[in-house]
Structure 1
Amino acid sequence: MTVEETMAELQSLGDAQTKKTLMRHGAQEPLYGVKVADLKKVLKKTKKNHALALELYKTGNSDAMYLAGLMADEKQVTREQLQAWVEGAYWYYLSEFTVPWIAADSAHGYALGLEWIESDKPLIAAAGWATLASFAGVHADETLDIEGYRALLDRVEKEIHQAPNRVKYTMNGFVISVASYVSELTAYAKRTANQIGPVEVFMGDTACKTPLASEYIEKVSARGSIGKKRKTARC
C-alpha cells in the first residue's frame, strides 16, 4: 500500500465519536478518529513496512502516526528517526505509547530513554520515562542495567511530586513496570511505590485516573505475573 492508499483507508475507517474522544484527550486536527482495533486491521494488510511508517508519521495525522508506530521495523529504525518522532509527538498517545513502544523494541531504547528524561519539554521527558518502563518489559534482566534502574527508582522517589503533569504519570508507570518486569528490583520498586503513595495527575475532561502504584503491583503479584516479559512493547 502507498501512503495515499493508506490514508484513504484510514479516512474511510474514521469514527466521529472516536474522534471526539481523542480530541478531548489532547489530539488535534488532522485526524479521522480511527479505533485502534481498526488500525490493526490496516496493519494486517501492510505488516511491518518501515518506509511506509516513516511516510505516515510525517503526515502529522494522529491516526497515521499511531499506525506508523505499530508498523515500523524495530531492527531498521535509527536513533535519528526516533528522535524526529519524539519531537513530533504532540500529545500523550504519541509521546507515551507510539514512540516509546517502538523505541523500547529497538536497540536504542535505553540510551534514548535516558536522554529524553533530561528534556525540559514535558512530553519528551514523559516519553523517556515511558520508554525506560517499556524497555524493562521486553528485554531480559541480564541485559538490563540493574543499578541504573535502581538509581532511576531513587530519582522518581525524589522528584515525582514536583514533576510536570504527564511526567508524573509516566514516572508512576515506570515504578509499576520495573516492579512487574524486573524480578531483581521488585522489592525495591515496591518500597519506592510505598514511599511515593498517591500521585495526583490532572486528566482534564476525562474519566481517567492515575493508578496507585503499590496496589497495581500487588495485583500483578497476585496473578503470578512478576518477572514475565512481553514479546513486544507494542499492543
Structure 2
Amino acid sequence: MAATTVTEASAESLASGTTLAEVMAELAALEDPRSREVNEKHGDDHGVNLGKLRALAKRLKTQQVLALELWATGDTAARLLSLLVCRPKSFDYGELDAMLRAARTPKVQDWLVNYVVKKSPHAEELRRAWFADPDPVVASAGWALTSERVVKKPEGLDLDGLLDIIELRMKQAPERLQWAMNQCLAQIGIEHPGDRARALEIGERLEVLKDYPTPPNCTSPFAPTWINEMVRRQAL
C-alpha cells in the first residue's frame, strides 16, 4: 500500500470524526440472529444484513485508515465494511496477496476480489499468481479474475488451454474452486461463439451443478443451462 502519512491519517480522522470503537459498536448493534443463520449456511460467520452494512458504508464514505483498522480486527462483518470504505488503489501487491490469503470466508473473498483487486493496478499480476496457487481457495480467486478477463479482455488468454484444465480438473475440484472454474466455463461459452460447442459439451459431460437447487426466475449455475439462457437473452 502507498504509505499513508501521519498528516493524512490525522486529517482523515478529523474529517470523519469516526473511531474504530464507534463503528464496531454499530456493527454489534446490527447483529441479527436470523441474518447470522442465513449467512452461516453460506460459510459466512457474521450476522449483519448486507443491505444495512452497505448503508453504513455509504454514510462513512471512503476512509482508508479506518478500513485498515477494521480489517485488522479479523471480524468478518468488519472486514466486509473495510472493503467498502477502503481505497483499492492504495494497496500494493504484497498487501493484497496477504489479504486474500487471510480472507477465508466466501463473502470476504468475493468482495475483496470484486471491489478491491479488480480496481488495482496489480490485478493481472495477482491473477496469474493466484491461478496457479496450490491452495484451492487462493486459486479460486485467480479463476474469478480469469473469468473477468474472458469477458472484458480476452486478448492473450489461451481459451482452449483453460477448457483443457476445466475438463480435466473441475469435476474433482473443491467446492469454491469448482464454482470459480464453472463460472469461467460458462463465460467462455457465453462470450466466445467459436468455443461454445466445446464449453457446452464439457458442461453436459461433467454435470457439475446440474442438480443445484435454483429458485424460480433464477438461472441455474449448471453451465449448459447458463450458457444457453444468456445467449438467448443476447439474441433478443
Q: Shorter-chain TM-score: which interval? A: 0.7 to 0.9
Q: In the aligned structure 1, how far is the partner of 2:132 from the partner of 2:224?
A: 26
Q: Which has the higher contact order (CA 8 A, sep 6+)?
A: 1
* Runs of 4+ residues over 4 Å off in structure 1: 200-203, 206-210
- Could you tell me how far 1:109 is from its partner in structure 2? 1.9
Who is 1:177 aligned against? 187
Note if 1:15 corresponds to 2:32.
yes
Instruction: Return closer, same or farther for 1:201/1:220 CA change in 2, 3 Å cut-off.
Output: closer
| Aligned counterparts, 1:151-162, within 5 A | 151-162=161-172
Instruction: Return closer, same or farther for 1:186/1:207 CA change in 2, 3 Å cut-off.
Output: closer
Q: How many residues align?
A: 213
2:112 matched to which residue of 1?
99
1 or 2, which has the higher helix percentage? Answer: 2
TM-aligned CA distance change 1:26 to 1:147, over 3 Å: closer
Q: 1:84 to 1:11 in 2, by over 3 A?
A: same
Amino acid at match of 2:119: D
With the length of structure 1 as denominator, give the TM-score of the two structures: 0.77
TM-score, scaled to structure 2: 0.77
AA at the equivalent of 1:99: L
CA deviation profile, 1:84-111 (whole Å, cap 9, x unmatched) = 111111222223x122212122222222
User: Aligned match of 1:120 in 134, 151, 155?
Assistant: 134
Query: In percent, how many aligned pairs have the same letter?
Result: 26
RMSD of aligned Cα (Å):
2.9
Structure index of larger Rg: 2
Specify whether residues 136 and 200 from structure 1 end up closer, same or farther in structure 2 by C-alpha distance, changes over 3 A only: closer
CA-to-partner distance for each residue in 1:100-154, whole Å, 9 max, x for gaps?
Answer: 21212222222212211222222111122123224555x5x3xx54434553233
Cα distance in 2 for residues equivalent to 1:43 and 1:170: 27
Kept in 2, the 8 Å contact 1:117–1:128? The answer is yes
Say if 1:169 and 1:210, in contact at 8 Å, map to a contact too.
no
Alignment CA distance shift 1:130-1:201 (3 Å): farther
Partner in structure 1 of residue 6 of structure 2: none
- Of 7, 32, 43, the residue aligned with 1:26 is 43
1:64 equivalent in structure 2:
78
CA contact (8 A) 1:53 1:72 kept: yes
